[in-house]
Amino acid sequence: MVVRDKLIDFSTPRVMGIINCTPDSFYSGSRSMNIDDILARVKDMLKSGADILDIGGYSSRPGAEEVSIEEEIERVVPVISAIRNQFPKAIISLDTFRAEVAEEGLKNGADLINDISGFSIDPKLVDVVVKYKVPYILMHMRGTPQTMQELTDYDNLYKDLVMYFSEKIDYLTKKGVRDILIDLGFGFSKTLEQNHELMQSLEHFQVLNKPILLGISRKSMIYKKLGITAEDSLPGTIALNAIGLSKGASILRVHDVKEAADLIRLIC
């Protein structure tokens, strides 16, 4: 992956720290709307071993309320600008599925786009990625955050996802997207059982020859299975991230950076 003319390789897995500029993300410990609080969190994440910061202004938890484009821009752009000014070497990912939000974020210092929708909600997003020549994280989801949990029927989960990614990667490559990463979309359009089925087959997605981002941090596939809360799900997150690393994950997207960085140091 190339970011600002610098090659970021995945011979050692990387850590992506989650910064939610929202009042309603599923894990309360990740929510923040205050710039000073966010910058303090960023400083701690970078010190703890974050390689990438993922900034999001639209909660994608199941049933999350719609947020206007204008409000999403107002949430994320000041944060991206502040991080870029205070931490000029930081690698900033913008978590959005909207072309307008992506363009404003990239203008103000974002380095790559993390799109939960696989450009199905706003196809113009691909043109923005091509225009700015930035890496693109392609995730699997059906529908929208409001409808995705009603769309969990698959003929064959693994084959359906491989076909989805193959077709999307082919399209993106032909459009001129130079760096593509994939995210299986744990918790998106999948049942609890399907999430764990994907974890067990994670290594088979290396057939796509793209870096795999693993985003399972404190998600319901952990806390619902264990009968606990998101606040108590750090041990389960570490356990599944360890399995993911053993199966070829290249990026761990997490709320708890130090624990993920320590895990990589221990087993990679």
What residues act catalytically?
219, 253
> What does the chain come to in residues?
268
Beta bridge partners of 180: 136
SS3 181: strand
Q: Which residues contact 80 (CB under 8 A, 6 or more apart)?
A: 55, 92, 94, 105, 108, 109, 110
Cα separation, 13 vs 113, whole angstroms? 19
Structure tokens at 165: 């990614």
Q: State both tokens at 148.
A: 């995705």
d(CA 116, CA 145): 9
Which element (helix H / strand E) includes 128? helix 124-132
What six digits make up the tokens of 83?
């991080």
DSSP β-ladder status, 6-7 and 2-3: antiparallel
Main-chain phi, psi angles of 166, to 5 degrees: -60, -45
